[in-house]
Amino acid sequence: MKTFAILLLFSWIAFAPTTGRAEDKRIVMIAGKPSHGPGEHEFRAGCLLLQKCLAGFPGIQVEVYTNDWPEDSSVLQGAAAVVIYSDGGAKHPAMQANHLQQLEALMKQGVGFACLHYAVEPTIENGQKEFIDWLGGCFEINRSVNPTWVADFKSFPTHPVARGLKSFSMLDEWYFNMRFRDGMKGVQLILAAVPPKSTMDRHDGPHEGNPGVRAAVEKGEPQTMAWVAERPDGGRGFGFTGGHYHKNWGDDNFRKVVLNGILWVAKVEVPADGVNSTVTAADLEQNLDPKGRKPKAKPAVKPAASAPAPLTK
């Protein structure tokens, strides 16, 4: 309990590099509250890992605010980009209080905007219009779907966010059939793959399926899992639907497309080979939410009373 309290205290702290210079562009990352089971929706650990990967990159300063919206919203002022990695729908941190209005003021200044995984889903009533404008597209219930499947990414467009990417496959909860701007105006696809028919095994529902997406999958139409958008005001948006499983950040290409996207929305030049970074198994174990462990099946033989309790983080 004491460990949990300490971690909760740290969750309100901004993790900002101490070597930032006044002229550096500030990238503000907002990590949502703990969600799902261990290893899933590790928003805090994911943001801190991405921050670590960008540490030392010239011209930027990355700040991470965890446990939802920053307690002091003035930290958003002067940001070159805002990145949100959190739950979506009615629980989306941008849908609370006047946060959408705060973002709108930033967007009018040309601030970049990126949303990762569930954070690409506002509600139809609150946020969808804005997200389509700022991001270029978003998840829409009863249209978009969230199956878990292996996406096979074989080719990439000529765009800074796709720099350095090589073919890769990844099991994740890849959302698709997004609601994009009319005519895809100002929107360019970055990651696309053909979902297998097994993605439509579930009954129709708000996130599971509908006649339109079933027909598209049946035809083998490629679906979009990451995209970029440019706004008339000069601002930029980046949407990425993967990121359910924390371990996936250990894949170089999976991580690179997001790091590239973060730089791009902040109007920072993406290296010719993309953002190169190294993540170890130990790195992936850092900063995980104290969610405990999933229940295990009872052993055939009852362990001795002196057996050590399982470790928790």
Reported as a single tens digit per residue, the pLDDT across 142-171 is: 999 999 999 999 999 999 999 999 999 999
d(CA 94, CA 114): 12
Q: Which pLDDT score is estimated for 23?
A: 75
Q: Which of 160, 132, 134, 115 is nearest to 267 (CA)?
A: 160
Q: Which pLDDT score is estimated for 15?
A: 56
Q: Is residue 294 part of a domain?
A: no
Q: Which pLDDT score is estimated for 188?
A: 98
The answer on pLDDT for 221 being more than 80 is yes
Q: Which pLDDT score is estimated for 242?
A: 98
Q: Which pLDDT band holds residue 172 (cuts at 50, 70, 90)?
A: very high
pLDDT in tens, 189-207: 999 999 999 999 999 999 9
Q: Which pLDDT band holds residue 22 (cuts at 50, 70, 90)?
A: low
Q: Is residue 302 part of a domain?
A: no
pLDDT in tens, 279-294: 999 999 999 999 875 5
Q: Is residue 304 part of a domain?
A: no
Evaluate whether 287 touches 48 at the Cβ level (below 8 Å).
yes
Q: Which of 298, 240, 230, 239 is nearest to 267 (CA)?
A: 230
| pLDDT, greater one: 117 or 3 | 117
Q: Is residue 289 part of a domain?
A: no
Torsion sign over Cα 17, 4, 291, 309: positive
Q: Is residue 10 part of a domain?
A: yes
Return the amino acid letter for 192: A
Q: Which pLDDT band holds residue 299 (cuts at 50, 70, 90)?
A: very low
d(CA 48, CA 97): 25
Q: Which residues of 45-79 are buried (b: 16+ CB within 10 A; e: fewer)?
A: bbbbbbbbbbeebeebbbbbbbbbbbeeeebbeeb
* CATH code (residue 149): 3.40.50.880
Evaluate whether 178 touches 141 at the Cβ level (below 8 Å).
no
Q: Is residue 301 part of a domain?
A: no
The answer on pLDDT for 19 being more than 90 is no
The answer on pLDDT for 300 being more than 80 is no
Pairing of strands 60-65, 112-116: unpaired
Q: Is residue 311 part of a domain?
A: no
Total count of domains within the chain: 1
The answer on pLDDT for 295 being more than 80 is no
Q: Which pLDDT score is estimated for 2?
A: 43
Q: Is residue 295 part of a domain?
A: no
**Structural tokens at position 82:** 């805002």
Q: Which pLDDT score is estimated for 3?
A: 43
Torsion sign over Cα 220, 222, 224, 225: positive
Rg over CA atoms, the chain:
20
pTM value? 0.89
* Residues across the chain: 313
pLDDT in tens, 36-95: 999 999 999 999 999 999 999 999 999 999 999 999 999 999 999 999 999 999 999 999
Residues 16-24: what's their mean pLDDT? 60
For the chain, give the percent of residues with pLDDT over 90.
85
Mean pLDDT across the chain:
90
- 224 strand-pairing partners: 192
pLDDT in tens, 79-126: 999 999 999 999 999 999 999 999 999 999 999 999 999 999 999 999
Q: Which range of residues forms the domain containing residue 222?
A: 2-284
d(CA 35, CA 246): 12
pLDDT in tens, 226-244: 999 999 989 999 999 999 9
Q: Which residues of 106-116 are buried (b: 16+ CB within 10 A; e: fewer)?
A: bbeeebbbbbb
Q: Which pLDDT score is estimated for 212?
A: 97
